[in-house]
Amino acid sequence: MSSNQLQLPKAVLPILFLIIIFIVFFSKAFVTIDAGEAGVLWKRFGGGVVTDEPAMGEGFHIVAPWNKVYVYEIRRQEAFEKMKVLSSNGLDILLETSIWYQPEVPELGKLHQQIGTDYLNRILLPTIRSAARSVVGRYTPEQLYSSKRDAIQTEIYEESKKIIDDQHILLNEILVRDVTLPTSIKDAIERKLRQEQESLEYEFRLEKADKEAQRQIIEAQGKADANRILSASLTDKILQDKGIEATLELSNSPNAKVVIVGSSKDGLPLILGNN
């Protein structure tokens, strides 16, 4: 086959060129938005970012090829941030945080127009760093290490939320994952905590011993009072009756004995046994 036979007619070339341009041009008109995403429409000849209409939802969309669609993830997202902050006495504290956030879907157009897709680094993280520095600066290392972690977590969240409430961003939660103190300070705090624990244990033992001593005193006092009351109630007549009852019981036993009634100086029976 000659080379002349392989050449296309000149009239076909413009048509092929137009078809290619059409395919490239109109392929931009087909937009698919995946699950957990939403789109913001930008109109080249219609005023730019569309802010007065709902964001484009999931699924297939057709837009004018000269317009653009910016896709945002609208699921809750998580970001991790490590930052150095200063305690109230000027010591370096390493704070590790986890941030849960997402864009406000009804405000997605305004978010794109005013901040853009990189709102995490432009707004969210700087806000949280600033709030963390402010909050941690109110506490000593001892407080941060022991009892105040939940408090600073809540305070950082509340201060950050105040700033970004009008930035079209939802701040779901801020979690303080770890608070790292200088090694020397951490060791000193742990020694102090051990000493406090030992002191509490010693005080507990003393209190327990004191209560036991009080219990014994009360028990002894009760016995003494009981003996005093019993002694006061035992008259000579009662003692004689008790002695006679005991003597009669003994006289009924099988052991050989001699019972002399009224022979003792107190009038009680005498018992003479042959054993």
Q: Assess whether 108 and 171 both reside in one domain.
A: yes
Which range marks the domain in which residue 17 is found?
3-73
Contact between 19 and 13 under an 8 Å Cβ cutoff? The reply is: no
Q: What is the pLDDT of residues 220-235, one digit of tens each?
A: 887 777 777 766 665 6
> Distances from the Cα of 115 to the Cαs of 68, 75, 124, in angstroms?
17, 18, 11
Convert 143-158 to b/e letters by CB count within 10 Å (16 or more is b): bbbeebeeebbebbbe
145: CB partners within 8 A, 6+ apart: 179, 181, 186, 189
Name the least confident of 29-38, 116-125, 203-212.
203-212
Boundary residue ending a domain (181, 197, 221): 181
Same domain, residue pair 81 and 174: yes
* pLDDT for the residue numbered 205: 73
Residue of 79, 76, 81 whose CA lies nearest to 97: 81
Most confident of 3-7, 90-94, 251-255: 90-94
Number of domains in the chain: 4
The pLDDT tens digits for 61-106 are 888 888 899 999 999 999 999 988 888 877 788 889 999 999 999 9
Q: Are residues 29 and 113 in the same domain?
A: no
- Residues 49 and 137 occupy one common structural domain: no
For 155-179, how does the pLDDT look when each residue is reduced to its tens digit (9 = 90+)? 999 999 998 988 999 999 999 888 8
Both 177 and 93 in one domain: the answer is yes
Distances (CA, A) of 80 to 61, 71, 228: 34, 23, 78
Residue bearing the bigger pLDDT, 261 or 226: 226
* 187-212: pLDDT as tens digits: 666 666 666 666 666 677 777 777 87
Q: Does pLDDT of 251 surpass 70?
A: no
Residues in the chain, total = 275
Q: Which of residues 73, 106, 126 is at a domain's end?
A: 73
pLDDT at 112 over 50: yes
Q: What is the pTM of this model?
A: 0.60
**Domain check: are 177 and 188 in the same one?**
no
In the prediction, which pLDDT does 239 show?
Answer: 59
